[in-house]
């Protein structure tokens, strides 16, 4: 997923973050948390140029969705302290758990719905305090689309409404459970690879 680390000279601090990232780059909840910690700590402790260099060496840009999601997970690590063994290995699901309002998260935990096999939860969005509400609705339409195409579109639009203060209306009558966990994992790998291509082109 990440490109080969080059022989360029880096500070000891940047090399340390790169090495930790490589070791932790595996699909499990424990390693998702470790990856988020590496990225979050590097963002907090490195200067802008060093962080940019770190991201480039692991195959991403500083603005890639993967980096952004990992930073969100890192910011909300406290809520996962007692649940590490129960978390799913899918980083996008952990991201959804990290970004949802704490009240919704606590309710899921109390009801025993946070499990290693859980599907991505529907996040109850809080109003964006920085963007005036204008009643803008973005409607998604298509004549024909495969279930994997719909899943990819859903992933790409993840968080768009919250960021821009709008409402996204998806076509009705589509059952997302038709997409298996294996297919969603394959989709995550493909989207992460796309981020990597983005970084290489930058």
Q: Assess whether pLDDT exceeds 50 at residue 5.
A: no
11-65 tens-digit pLDDT: 788 888 887 776 665 457 888 899 999 999 999 999 999 999 999 999 999 989 9
Domain range summary for the chain, segments of one domain joined by +: 12-201
Q: Which long-range contacts (CB under 8 A, 24 or more apart) does 66-70 make?
A: 66/191, 66/192, 66/195, 67/39, 67/195, 69/95, 70/35, 70/36, 70/39, 70/40, 70/95
Are 117 and 88 within 8 A, CB to CB?
yes
Q: What is the reported pLDDT for 38?
A: 95
**Confidence band of 122 (pLDDT split at 50, 70, 90):** confident
User: 139: which 2 tokens?
Assistant: 């409607």
96-109 tens-digit pLDDT: 999 999 999 999 99
Separation of CA 150 from chain center: 18
108-118 tens-digit pLDDT: 999 988 887 78
Residue whose token pair is 């360029």: 8
């Amino acid at each position: 997923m990440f490109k080969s680390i080059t022989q360029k000279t880096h500070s000891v601090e940047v090399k340390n973050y790169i090495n930790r990232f490589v070791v932790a780059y595996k699909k499990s909840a424990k390693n998702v948390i470790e990856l988020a910690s590496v990225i979050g700590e590097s963002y907090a402790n490195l200067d802008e140029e060093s962080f940019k260099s770190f991201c480039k060496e692991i195959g991403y840009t500083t603005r890639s969705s993967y980096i952004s999601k990992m930073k969100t997970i890192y910011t909300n690590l406290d809520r996962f302290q007692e649940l590490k063994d129960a978390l799913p290995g899918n980083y996008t699901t952990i991201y959804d758990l990290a970004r949802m309002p704490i009240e919704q998260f606590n309710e899921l935990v109390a009801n025993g719905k946070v499990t290693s096999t859980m599907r991505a939860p529907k996040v109850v969005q809080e109003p964006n305090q920085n963007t005036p509400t204008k009643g803008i609705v973005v409607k998604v339409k298509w004549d024909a689309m495969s279930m994997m195409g719909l899943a990819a579109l859903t992933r790409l639009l993840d968080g768009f409404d919250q960021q821009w203060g709008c409402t996204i209306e998806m076509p009705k009558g589509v059952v997302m459970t038709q997409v298996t966990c294996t297919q969603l994992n394959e989709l995550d790998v493909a989207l992460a690879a796309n981020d990597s291509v983005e970084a290489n082109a930058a």
